[in-house]
Structure 1
Amino acid sequence: MLKYYVTESMTKNRRICFLIECPAGEAYRECCDMAPDVTEIALKQIERFKKAVNQAPAVSAYSAAHSKKSVSIAPQEKTEVEIAADFDPTKLRPCKNAK
């Protein structure tokens, strides 16, 4: 079956793309099922991917035309914010026309 997909890709696209995956809980060094040359290729691809991610510019959350102050959130700055009302009901604010 693999031979079919390889020949099909070569005839249509004139190139072959392989996707090498490992389980999410394991490090790539712990995967002993792969051949050494495949592991070397995977390590090179991981390095290239990490460099590409680090070079990505931060994207502004709001455009400058719509707001007076520019706010930009980098993908690496993700933080979780606790909502006080989830833990303490006395922190809830009253609302008009609430039923």
Structure 2
Amino acid sequence: MGRVTVCPKDNTLAVDYVLPPAAGVPALEQLRKERGRYFRPGTDLTTIRRDAARALLVRGFLAEPKLVLNGTPVAGPFTKMAVDGVIWWRVPIAEP
């Protein structure tokens, strides 16, 4: 459940993201009953929080990206890694 806006010229990454609540989301079960095509076969809604993303790997930034998470600027430093000559940044989007 999120939205990502990338502005490479500004070196900015804006993320709106929320982890599903630990108790689950009753509306998702109802949605699966009514519109099952929106879910991958075998999706287990009881593990949705455990399996949710906690970070993004992004590339294409010339320097460490400026992160705005849910409207609040988040200070780095973020983990930088190089794979086959391509620079990737690990940007946290939720508490572990």
Pick the structure with more helix per residue. 1
TMscore range, shorter length: under 0.3
TM-score (norm 1): 0.20
Question: Rg larger in 1 or in 2?
Answer: 1
**Could you say which structure has the greater relative contact order, defined with CA pairs below 8 angstroms and 6 or more residues apart?**
2
Higher strand share: 2
